[in-house]
C-alpha cells in the first residue's frame, strides 16, 4: 500500500518513512503543501499523513483543498499543537485523525491500520440521499437541506449528521458516536462530541420551530421529530 507523507522536517519524515517501510508500506515524501497536493491528486495513495505547519501551503488548507477535490482517502494530521480548538480545526478541515508530536511510531502505525481497515470495508448499500422529516442529506454531492433551506456543514459535521440520519429515533451514546464518526482512538474524555452536536443544532434546529436533535440525559443523543 502506498502512503503519502507530507512533512518538511527531514528527521521526522525519514523516521515516518522508515517506520512505514518496515511495516511493508511504500512511502512517498513531499516537503511542502503544494507538492503534497500535486502528488495526492496525481497518484492513488491509500492514506495521507501531513504536518499542519508546512511551507507554501499549510496542512489545514491542503486538507480542505483535497476534500473540495472530492479526494476521500484517509488523512492523518501531525502537529505540535494539541489544544481542543486545534483538533477541532483539523477535523473541520477534513482530517480523519490527529496525532500530536512527539509521538511513538507504533502509535502512528496503529492509527493507520484503523483507518485503512475502516476504508476497506464493503461500501454501504444505503441510498445516496438520507432523509428524515424535512431534513435531507445527499452523500454524492455533499449537500444538506432542511425544507427549502440549504445548510452548510464542515466535513466532520457532515459525517456526524450522516450517522444520525442512518440511525434515526435511536439513542446514540457518546462512545458510539466517537467510535463510528471518528474512530476508536478518539478521546472520549473530552467534550468534542457535545461541541459538534451543538454546532449541528445551531445549523439544523436553531432557525426552525421543530427541533430534531435532542439530548437524553446520561444516555446520549437522538434524532427525533417529536419527544
Is residue 145 over pLDDT 90? yes
pLDDT reported for residue 125: 42
Is residue 144 over pLDDT 90? yes
Is residue 106 over pLDDT 60? yes
Q: What is the mean pLDDT of residues 183-191?
A: 59
Q: Is the domain 2-120 a CATH 3.40.50.2300 member? A: yes
Q: What is the 3-state secondary structure (H, E, C) of the chain?
A: CEEEEECCCHHHHHHHHHHHHHCCCEEEEECCHHHHHHHHHHCCCCEEEEECCCCCCCHHHHHHHHHHCCCCCCEEEEECCCCHHHHHHHHHHCCCEEEECCCCHHHHHHHHHHHHHHHHCCCCCCCCEEEECCEEEECCCCEEEECCEEECCCHHHHHHHHHHHHCCCCCECHHHHHHHHHCCCCCCCCCHHHHHHHHHHHHHCCCCCCCCEEEECCCEEEECCCC
What tens digit of pLDDT does each residue of 52-75 get?
989 999 989 999 999 888 788 899
The answer, as to whether pTM is greater than 0.75, is no
Q: Which CATH number fits domain 129-223: 1.10.3720.10, 1.10.10.10, 3.30.2130.10, 3.20.20.70?
A: 1.10.10.10
* Residue ranges covered by each domain of the chain: 2-120, 129-223
Beta bridge partners of 221: 172, 215
Amino acid at each position: 500500500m502506498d502512503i503519502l507523507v507530507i512533512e518538511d522536517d527531514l528527521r521526522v519524515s525519514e523516521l515516518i518513512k522508515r517506520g512505514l517501510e518496515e511495516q511493508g508500506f511504500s512511502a512517498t515524501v513531499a516537503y511542502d503543501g503544494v507538492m503534497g497536493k500535486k502528488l495526492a491528486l496525481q497518484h492513488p495513495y491509500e492514506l495521507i499523513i501531513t504536518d499542519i505547519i508546512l511551507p507554501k501551503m499549510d496542512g489545514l488548507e491542503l486538507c480542505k483543498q483535497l476534500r473540495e477535490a472530492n479526494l476521500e482517502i484517509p488523512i492523518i494530521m501531525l502537529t505540535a499543537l494539541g489544544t481542543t480548538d486545534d483538533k477541532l480545526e483539523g477535523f473541520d478541515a477534513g482530517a480523519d485523525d490527529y496525532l500530536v508530536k512527539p509521538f511513538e511510531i507504533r502509535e502512528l502505525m496503529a492509527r493507520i491500520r484503523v483507518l485503512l481497515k475502516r476504508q476497506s470495508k464493503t461500501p454501504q448499500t444505503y441510498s445516496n440521499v438520507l432523509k428524515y422529516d424535512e431534513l435531507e442529506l445527499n452523500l454524492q454531492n455533499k449537500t444538506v437541506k432542511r425544507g427549502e433551506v440549504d445548510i452548510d456543514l464542515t466535513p466532520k459535521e457532515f459525517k456526524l449528521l450522516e450517522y444520525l440520519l442512518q440511525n434515526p429515533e435511536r439513542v446514540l451514546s457518546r462512545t458510539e458516536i466517537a467510535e463510528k464518526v471518528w474512530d476508536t482512538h478518539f478521546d472520549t474524555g473530552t467534550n468534542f462530541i457535545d461541541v459538534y452536536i451543538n454546532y449541528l443544532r445551531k445549523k439544523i434546529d436553531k432557525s426552525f420551530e421543530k427541533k430534531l436533535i435532542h439530548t437524553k440525559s446520561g444516555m446520549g443523543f437522538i434524532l427525533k421529530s417529536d419527544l
